[in-house]
Chain A
Amino acid sequence: QVQLQESGPGLVKPSETLSLTCDVSDYSISSGYYWGWIRQPPGKGLEWIGSIYHSGNTYYNPSLKSRVTVSIDKSKNQFSLKLSSVTAADTAVYYCARHEKPSGSLIPYYFDSWGPGTLVTVSS
């Protein structure tokens, strides 16, 4: 059973860069899934941010693409999120998740395992 755990600062100042890491355990990040980030503002719904394959191929939400970088470190079995120029609107619980990609499919599908989430507050 794959385990995911987010980590990073819980408070980020406006205009700075939010950086989070997701540690994956009990599953090799190189084994064929995409790995994604999803966020949820307090009391609101879910927004997909971006996903990455072990090859480095990425998909980003166009609404955030100019500010987002998702990267992968296979040696550490982890992947990361950077979101630049943050504002209060970026305050949210950030989840990392395994993004299912069946063999033969070009794109990933649904999110079948999630981390517990980490609250990031943007405030001075």
Chain B
Amino acid sequence: DIVMTQSPDSLAVSLGERATINCKSSQSVFYRSNNKNYLAWYQQKPGQPPNLLFYWASTRESGVPDRFSGSGSGTDFTLTISSLQAEDVAVYYCQQYYSPPWTFGQGTKVEIK
């Protein structure tokens, strides 16, 4: 199984400041044949199901604000919130879809400082 490890487990950021979440996979999730990274990011607000933010590591899902960005390749990926808003308080998960079983990171909780 591909193990996904996120860091930090939680972070507190002031409103308007940058939040950065890291995700590392135990093996590369990059396919050379199509030049794509098989990685997704989700946001889960309290009491709600996860919501897809990004796929292919950096392709933003429709409706996701552009203050969110995804980057990285191979085994190291980053989700960045450029200017944290109150509604961004949530737990964020990465997920690999390079090979089954599909696995998620343990989650990173983002709070307001």
Contacts and interface: CB of A to CB of B under 8 A. Distances in A.
Interface stretch (A25-33, A42-50, A72-80): A42-50
Contact of B95 (A59, A95, A110, A114): A110
A117 B46 CA distance: 12
A114 B105 contact: no
Given A45-B105, A48-B103, A48-B104, A95 B49 contact: yes
Contacts, number: 54
Contacts of B65: none
B30 interface: no
A68 to B, nearest CB: 12
Interface residues of A, number: 21
A107 to B, nearest CB: 6
What is the interface residue range for chain B against chain A? 20 to 34
A98 to B, nearest CB: 10
8 closest A-B pairs by CB: A114-B49, A110-B40, A109-B97, A46-B104, A48-B102, A61-B101, A110-B55, A45-B106
